[in-house]
Structure 1
Amino acid sequence: MGIEIIHRPLRTKNALWLPDRNLIVVKERMRSVHTRCSIAHELGHVHYGHVDDRPKHEVQADRFAAENLIDFAEIRDHLGWIGHPQLLAAELGVTHRLLRTYINVHRLAS
Structure 2
Amino acid sequence: MSVQPLVSAGLHYAPAVILDQLGIVVVRTWLRDTWGAWSRDRQRIVIASGLSAVQERCVLAHELEHVYADDADCNSPVERIRQERRADLEAARKLIAISDLAEVAQWAADTYTAAAELRVTERLLEVRLNDLRGEGWPWRHQDGSRIAG
Runs of 4+ off more than 6 Å: none
| Alignment correspondent of 2:10 | none
2:64 is the counterpart of 1:38: no
2:71 is aligned, of 39, 46, 50, to 50
Contact 1:19 1:51 in 2 (8 A): yes
- Aligned counterpart, 2:31: 10
Normalising by structure 2, we get a TM-score of 0.69
Deviation at 1:105, TM superposition (A): 0.8
Shift of 1:79: 1.7
TM-score, normalized by length of structure 1? 0.91
Distance 1:100 1:82 in 2: 15
Contact map agreement 1:81 1:87 (CA 8 A) in 2: no
Aligned partner of 1:94 in structure 2 is: 120
Equivalent residue pairs, number: 110
Given candidates 25, 48, 62, the residue that maps to 1:27 is 48
Give % identity. Answer: 35
Note if contact 1:89-1:95 (Cα within 8 Å) is conserved in structure 2: yes
- SS of the residue 1:21 aligns to: coil
Question: Considering only aligned residues, what root-mean-square deviation do their CA atoms show, in Å?
Answer: 1.6
Distance of 1:45 and 1:81 partners within structure 2: 34
Max Rg structure = 2
